[in-house]
Amino acid sequence: MSNDKKHNYKSVNIRNKRAYFNFEILEEYVAGIQLAGTEIKSLRLGKASLVDCYCYFSGHELFVRGMNIAEYDWGNLNNHAPRRDRKLLLTSRELEKLQRASQDKGVTIVGLRVFINERGFAKLAIGLARGKHEYDKRESIKQRDTKRELDTIKKNYRR
């Protein structure tokens, strides 16, 4: 494998910006994703979206719903369904902890970002999250705008 291909895989880092805005992230976990062959090829091209992505338990297994991986352009009749539910791979201890925590009122598990690790495996960073109220969202916007203004002042001051 050439160096260029390795660099392309490392550049795959798809974030769910709405999750950070709509939720307060309590804990983060990194989970493997069980994918089909055309799914990983499409993911390596960066064709995925985590908008409205959340996780749910079915028995003692964790699945992600709402994660969109576009069909692979050069796939044949065996191409995958873009919005199918995908199994997440975590240790049993992590699964038990997440299942207990997600039963609390107002707590959910959301997908935060998809990336390819050093070994070439697709990973999904998930977060145990609590929904923000409207006033919390306004406070986040206010802090972001203040930080942006301070950065521009610092930048102009250095000149």
For 122-156, the pLDDT digits (tens) are: 899 999 988 877 777 788 888 888 989 888 888 88
Vertex 109 angle, CA 19 and 20, to 5°: 15
| Domain layout of the chain by residue ranges | 3-132
The architecture that CATH gives domain 3-132 is: Beta Barrel (2.40)
For the entire predicted model, the pTM comes to: 0.76
Highest mean pLDDT among 10-14, 80-84, 141-145: 141-145
Which value, to the nearest 10 degrees, does the dihedral of the CA atoms of residues 69, 124, 117, 30 take? -170
Residue 93: partners with Cβ closer than 8 Å, 6 or more residues away: none
For 20-55, the pLDDT digits (tens) are: 888 888 999 999 999 888 888 888 888 888 888 889
Percentage of residues in the chain having pLDDT higher than 70: 92
Residue 46: partners with Cβ closer than 8 Å, 6 or more residues away: 11, 12, 14
